[in-house]
Amino acid sequence: MVENMSNNVIFITGHKNPDTDSICSAIGYAALKGEGYVAGRAGDVNPETQFVLDHFGLKAPELLQNVAGSEIILVDHNEAGQAVDGLADARIVEILDHHKIGGLQTSEPILFCNIPVGCTATIVTMFYQQSGKKPEPAVAGALCSAILSDTLAFRSPTCTEMDKAAARELAAIAGMEDVEAYAKEMFVAGSNLGSKTEKEILYLDFKKFTSGNTTFGVGQVTSMSGGELQQLKPRMQAYMQESMAEHGVDMLFLMLTDIMDESTDLIYCGPGADQAVKAAFTSDAADRTYLKGVMSRKKQIVPQLTEALK
C-alpha cells in the first residue's frame, strides 16, 4: 500500500476495478520505461489477473490509494470517473489508451496515445517495437494475456489485426505454445466465481459512465460456461434491485457475456433503464435482453446506451 507518494517516481496505473489489461499494461509499460517508473494499480487484482500473474511469476503492482501530488501515467482509461483517487491533484504526464475520449484536461501538452485497437497492451507492444526493445518473457506473457483478455481470445469485434500480430509476437517471446488453450484456462480461472458475493461479482469489472444528466454503471461477467451465467442471472437480478440505492448511479447494467456463444445477456435496473434498453437495442430474440454477437462493453453497449440516454 502506498499512501505517501514519493516525488521521485512516476506511477503508471490503469483504471479502478482493474482488469488484466489495466494491470499488465502498467507492468509492461513500467518495464519499458525503466528506472523511475513504477507500476501501480487502482484496486484489487481480480481472479483472472491473479491467474496471469501466478502463471508468469509476476508480482502485482503497488496498490495506489491516492495519487494527489504525484506524477502519473494513465493506461487503459482516460476518464476521471474511472481513475484512481486524487487524480485531480496529480500531474498526468502520459496517457495510453484504447477507449473513447472521456473529458480529462491537462495544463500542458502530454503524450496522449489513443488507438482504437482491442487492448492497451497492443499499444504498449507498439512502443516496445518503436524503441527496438523486447519485453522479458514474463512481461511478454502478461501483455499477451491482456490482449487475450480484452479481445476474448480474438473473438470480440474490437479485435484488430494489430492485436493479433502483437499477441503472436508476445506469445513467441513468452514461449506460449498453445495460446487458445492458455486463454481458456485463464477465462475459467477468471469466471471462477465460487464463494464471491453478488456485490463482488458486480464489481469484478465495473465502470461508470455519464450521458446528459444520467449516470450509469455497467459491469461485465465473462464466462466460458453459459450454464454458469444462467444460474447467476436471477441471483444478480435480485441483488441489483435491492441494492440499487447503494451504487451512486441512476441505472445499473450487468453484461453476462458467454464467450463460447459469443453473446451477452444484459440485465439491468433503475428508473428508465428498461426504456433505454428498448431504445438502444433491437433484438429478435424472445428474451429481448439476449444480444447475439455482443461482447464488447465499449463498442456495443456504452455508445448505444449513451445515445439512448441523451
The answer to whether residue 48 forms part of the interface with Mn ion (CB under 5 A) is: no
Closest residue to bound Mn ion by CB: 21
The answer to whether residue 21 forms part of the interface with Mn ion (CB under 5 A) is: yes
Q: Least distance to Mn ion from the beta carbon of 119, Å?
A: 5
Q: How many angstroms separate the CA atoms of 57 and 211, rounded?
A: 41
Q: What are the residues facing 217 on neighbouring strands?
A: 208, 252
Q: CA-CA-CA-CA torsion for 144, 147, 153, 157, nearest 10 degrees?
A: -160
Question: Among residues 49 and 214, whose Cβ is nearest to Mn ion?
Answer: 49
Contact by Cβ (8 Å): 237, 267: yes
Question: Among residues 111 and 279, whose Cβ is nearest to Mn ion?
Answer: 111
The answer to whether residue 19 forms part of the interface with Mn ion (CB under 5 A) is: yes
The answer to whether residue 258 forms part of the interface with Mn ion (CB under 5 A) is: no
With CA atoms as reference, report the closest residue to 265 among 199, 220, 205.
220
Q: Give the dihedral sign, CA 268/272/275/277.
A: negative
What are the backbone angles phi and psi of residue 223, rounded to the nearest 5°? -145, 150
The answer to whether residue 205 forms part of the interface with Mn ion (CB under 5 A) is: no
Stretch that binds Mn ion, among 22-30, 134-142, 265-273, 294-302 (CB under 5 A): 22-30
Stretch that binds Mn ion, among 16-24, 44-52, 172-180, 242-250 (CB under 5 A): 16-24
| CA dist list (Å): 216 to 122, 199, 210, 251, 276 | 28, 16, 6, 5, 11
Q: Least distance to Mn ion from the beta carbon of 17, Å?
A: 9
Q: How many angstroms separate the CA atoms of 23 and 166, rounded?
A: 18
Contact by Cβ (8 Å): 28, 139: yes
Q: Least distance to Mn ion from the beta carbon of 103, Å?
A: 17
Site residues (CB under 5 A) for Mn ion, limited to 133-152: 150
Question: Among residues 163 and 198, whose Cβ is nearest to Mn ion?
Answer: 163
- Which residues make Cβ contacts (< 8 Å) with residue 62, sequence separation at least 6? 1, 2, 11, 38, 39, 40, 41
Question: Among residues 89 and 200, whose Cβ is nearest to Mn ion?
Answer: 200
Question: Among residues 28 and 270, whose Cβ is nearest to Mn ion?
Answer: 28
Binding track over 66-105 against Mn ion, x by CB under 5 A: ----------x-----------------------------
Question: Among residues 155 and 288, whose Cβ is nearest to Mn ion?
Answer: 155
Residues of the shown chain interacting with Mn ion in the complex, contacts defined by CB under 5 A: 19, 21-22, 76, 120, 150
